[in-house]
Structure 1
């Protein structure tokens, strides 16, 4: 099992029009934050990007990236189904 994978996936509203996507790993979360996030600024957004990169470099645990992603989603008012 990939150590960067999350123990529980997160499903979030991707486009604000009812499209959903499920994230299962730190790598997926990093790609979403860097390429498809609805806001390009915000304290939790910047923190989530950094935590994801730290996890990918082996400096933090994947659970920290999952929590940071949830915090960034709350900040950006992105609907999340935390499974």
Structure 2
């Protein structure tokens, strides 16, 4: 399993004004495992898609899109 780079890094701002730059599926998995929001469908989809990208089952671009959707749902995009 190697690190799968996202097409564009994602800048995430937490409520405590802490900024995170998520540049790969691995970064996303680490962020999602300490997820500050609700763990709904978009969260679960993003986590699974990022894990799938690391395993080579899904493209990093699709994992990135799922991660973006989860961030938008939670209002965490910068």
Could you say which TM-score interval applies, normalised by the shorter chain?
A: 0.7 to 0.9
Q: Could you tell me the TM-score, scaled by structure 1's length?
A: 0.83
1:1-83 equivalences under 5 Å are 4-13=4-13, 15-35=14-34, 37-78=35-76, 80-81=77-78
**Aligned partners of 2:7 and 2:64 also within 8 Å:** no
Runs of 4+ in 1 over 6 A off after TM superposition: none
Number of residue pairs matched by the alignment: 77
TM-score, scaled to structure 2: 0.88
**Alpha carbons 1:30, 1:49 under 8 Å: kept:** yes
Rounded Cα–Cα distance in structure 2 between residues aligned with 1:3 and 1:39: 25
SS in 2 for 1:50: helix
Q: Contact 1:51 / 1:64 at 8 angstroms: preserved in 2?
A: yes
